[in-house]
Amino acid sequence: MTYFNHMRMESDSSSFDERIFEALLGHSVEDESFLTRPGKGYSKRSSHIQQLRNLCRQASEVAFDELSAPSRKALAASERFLNELPEGCLELKLAVSHSGEINFFFGDDAHPFQALIDDTGLVSFYGEVNGEEIRGSDIAPADFPGLKLLKFLDQKK
């Protein structure tokens, strides 16, 4: 008798395939907690990335002398930027400027916190947090001060 036949014969109510699967997963197949849906943050990020890609595609389809589509570097940096934002900073508006910059607007329309990513993939931003002007230019998306943005958004609540 081979090992596999022996394992199948030893099986109580679980099939051999289930036990292998359970061994690989590290928990029972009946335990469905690992099948939970992604959180809201994941859904918002995915939605923003899809919107961003659509905006860039549309801009590239209508680009002409006075309108530039975002560069690949800008798109890649923008996706990285979205993925690195703190969970509480995912309520935002996206826009593509005529020069190909990708703009992110946070907060209300009257006093937004704005971040933009240029064609080289660098971030510039401006906003006011508790009366203090916060700004930066030409920084990598990973260096963006997400916690300051979070403070800005918290003061708006």
Predicted confidence (pLDDT) at residue 95 exceeds the cutoff of 70: yes
Task: Indicate if 96 and 148 belong to the same structural domain.
Answer: yes
Task: Indicate if 95 and 131 belong to the same structural domain.
Answer: yes
Task: Indicate if 24 and 89 belong to the same structural domain.
Answer: no
What is the mean pLDDT of the segment spanning 110-138? 92
Task: Indicate if 95 and 147 belong to the same structural domain.
Answer: yes
Distance from the Cα of residue 62 to its chain's centroid: 26
Instruction: Name residue 106's beta-bridge partners.
Output: 92, 113
pLDDT confidence of residue 18:
56
Task: Indicate if 49 and 27 belong to the same structural domain.
Answer: no
Q: What is the mean pLDDT of the chain?
A: 80
Task: Indicate if 137 and 67 belong to the same structural domain.
Answer: yes
Tokens in use for 99? 């020069």
Tell me the pLDDT tens digit for each residue of 12-41.
Answer: 444 555 555 455 555 454 555 444 455 666
Predicted confidence (pLDDT) at residue 59 exceeds the cutoff of 80: yes
151 and 130 Cβ atoms separated by less than 8 Å:
yes
| Residue 110 domain boundaries | 39-155
Rounded Cα gap, residues 81 and 107, in angstroms: 17
Domain count, the chain: 2
Task: Indicate if 16 and 47 belong to the same structural domain.
Answer: no
pLDDT range class, residue 156, cuts 50, 70, 90: confident
Task: Indicate if 64 and 78 belong to the same structural domain.
Answer: yes
37 Cβ contact partners less than 8 Å away, ≥ 6 residues apart:
none
Percent of the chain with pLDDT over 70: 73
Its pTM surpasses 0.75: no
What is the mean pLDDT of the segment spanning 35-62? 82
Task: Indicate if 102 and 75 belong to the same structural domain.
Answer: yes
Tell me the pLDDT tens digit for each residue of 101-117.
Answer: 999 999 988 888 999 99
Helical H runs in 62-106?
72-84
